[in-house]
Structure 1
């Protein structure tokens, strides 16, 4: 919690222990922290330098905590000042970069990033720098960062950045595919599925995009595109894929039953969502850790509930009743996705 103020885990634990106790002997504090006394003393000396702790003048060897409201407040003010200085330096360096570039208009539009580490770093920077929305097209073959390694997504979503993600069907069959998508949906991200996406793509705030440049056997590379006609084209590509993609409903099973005793429960909706995304009964059963007969029984129950005789008709009724939905033009039938319920 206090890492942003420059405290490591040991220092934070020591300060919290001092605050809780009011004051403590070095030996007592070392015992509480499970540290050798020499290490505990080094931690306390560091807290002393930061104005968070001091030795008692009345009892040598006894340490007292500085009042959090005063001590931490001072560190916060110092941290804000340093951030403001860093922001100013960043702006000055950006201006200097543009001024020194031989072709500034080109450098401002695109940049080429090469190497797995550099691509991964730029990918994380793009998300962590987003303020409002991240849009992404995802394939089943990551270049530099896998879904489980993408910690920046969770951090950005936790501070209110909206995510709209379209994955290709292959992702659902990956060992961690359903787990990753369920986690994304639990963060209120919007996730959709198509048979194939035209390219990997991530766009932050509609101002910066990143697309791969990697060919077979080549070193990972990516193109970062800034505000330009090319960026607008990439945004148009994402929106076109998004409109045609099928929404996913996952991770809603909680043991609940149908509210009115007649509608689909969360498991039914998950099954419908995956079937509409193009998975077979066997694949759905495997991904949701259900028996094949359970999946088939539930699909049969939904068909009986809607009074239809084919799965194609079930798909239409799912849309009509709002069990699955996506934005579409009035009168435009979702034929491709409905046909996926086989």
Structure 2
């Protein structure tokens, strides 16, 4: 912990911990305690002394004592915080310069073109690492990046991911049910649409990546990087329109206190049914038989007193059958 927070080497952190636990120690004694040679111990003590974590004993200058941890560590923490504050000021200054340059872009500079699948993956990864508030993603086959585009470290910073996935197809040309579940578990808010008009990746309402379709050759793949302009505004409006029409995706049942309730398998079947899957496609996605799917749908219709499948959707929503976490906005 000391090595991570204060920038000490493992050897320095171990030596400081040892000195905290004893009255004092000579370089020779310290070397014996931590199992290193005398030269390493002398070097370690010298570095700790320069950091004001240890001091020479007043009664015997050949011996070293630990500076009280609260005082020593607090001083280092204050120094580190000051460094972070200065770095933030510099970052804010650079960000202002960048934004000023962006606003000054000419008509030919609001759209950049990237060539090659690998270059697209690298650029998308770089852009999402810089996300501060929200990532909006339209997912459509064929993929321009392996796996889903969610970065756990970005989500851990509180960045929201809203993802609209084109309805999974049995041929594997789009995300599978399991992949969508994994995306939700990673922190994505997922909705499903029968189809999406294009692949799209928008970060913080400031940048959009639009992969160019039409070529399956990875070497010939391309994408547009759209900066702040009326075209970006149109792409954001397109995403929001698609978001309103897409279906929230549930993988588990809702509040068990609601009555009558369904189990998780029922919730999964219902969710896929409401997003337009056929009975056979649902059975394929859930690795079960079509007879099981049809039987469970009939049971849910009977329980909800629904006359048809469309009515089942309305009744299910009123009964709170699907996971409340899917009530995204």
Q: Could you tell me the TM-score, scaled by structure 1's length?
A: 0.69
Q: 1:117 Cα shift?
A: 4.0
Which of 17, 20, 23 is 1:22 aligned to? 20
| CA gap 1:84/1:259 in 2 versus in 1, 3 angstroms | same
Q: 1:192 Cα shift?
A: 0.8
Q: 1:258 Cα shift?
A: 3.4
Q: 1:235 Cα shift?
A: 1.5
Once the two structures are superposed, the pairs formed by residues 117-266 of structure 1 within 5 Å of their partners are: 117-147=118-148, 150=149, 152=151, 154-170=152-168, 177-186=176-185, 189-213=188-212, 215-216=214-215, 217=217, 218-250=219-251, 252=252, 258-266=256-264
Q: 1:2 Cα shift?
A: 8.0
| CA gap 1:86/1:178 in 2 versus in 1, 3 angstroms | same
Tell me how far apart the structure 2 counterparts of residues 13 and 287 of structure 1 sit (CA, whole Å): 53
Who is 1:268 aligned against?
A: 266
Q: Deviations over 1:249-275 (max 9, x none)?
A: 12x36xx98324522244422221122
Mean Cα displacement is larger for which, 197-206 or 21-30? 21-30
Who is 2:76 aligned against?
A: 71
Preserved CA contact (<8 Å) 2:150 2:186 = no
| CA gap 1:22/1:2 in 2 versus in 1, 3 angstroms | closer
Who is 1:51 aligned against?
A: 51
Tell me how far apart the structure 1 counterparts of residues 32 and 108 of structure 2 sit (CA, whole Å): 59
Q: What is the DSSP-based 3-state SS (H/G/I as helix, E as strand, rest coil) of the residue aligned with 2:225?
A: strand
Tell me how far apart the structure 2 counterparts of residues 79 and 327 of structure 1 sit (CA, whole Å): 36
Preserved CA contact (<8 Å) 1:14 1:29 = no
Who is 1:88 aligned against?
A: 93
| CA gap 1:257/1:247 in 2 versus in 1, 3 angstroms | closer
Q: What is the DSSP-based 3-state SS (H/G/I as helix, E as strand, rest coil) of the residue aligned with 2:220?
A: coil
RMSD: 4.4
Tell me how far apart the structure 2 counterparts of residues 129 and 165 of structure 1 sit (CA, whole Å): 18
| CA gap 1:168/1:86 in 2 versus in 1, 3 angstroms | same
Tell me how far apart the structure 2 counterparts of residues 268 and 37 of structure 1 sit (CA, whole Å): 67
| CA gap 1:12/1:280 in 2 versus in 1, 3 angstroms | farther
Larger Rg: 2
Tell me how far apart the structure 2 counterparts of residues 87 and 2 of structure 1 sit (CA, whole Å): 29
Q: Structure 2 regions of 5+ residues with no counterpart?
A: 23-29
Q: What is the DSSP-based 3-state SS (H/G/I as helix, E as strand, rest coil) of the residue aligned with 2:177?
A: helix
Mean Cα displacement is larger for which, 53-62 or 105-114? 53-62
Preserved CA contact (<8 Å) 2:210 2:225 = yes
Q: What is the DSSP-based 3-state SS (H/G/I as helix, E as strand, rest coil) of the residue aligned with 1:170?
A: coil
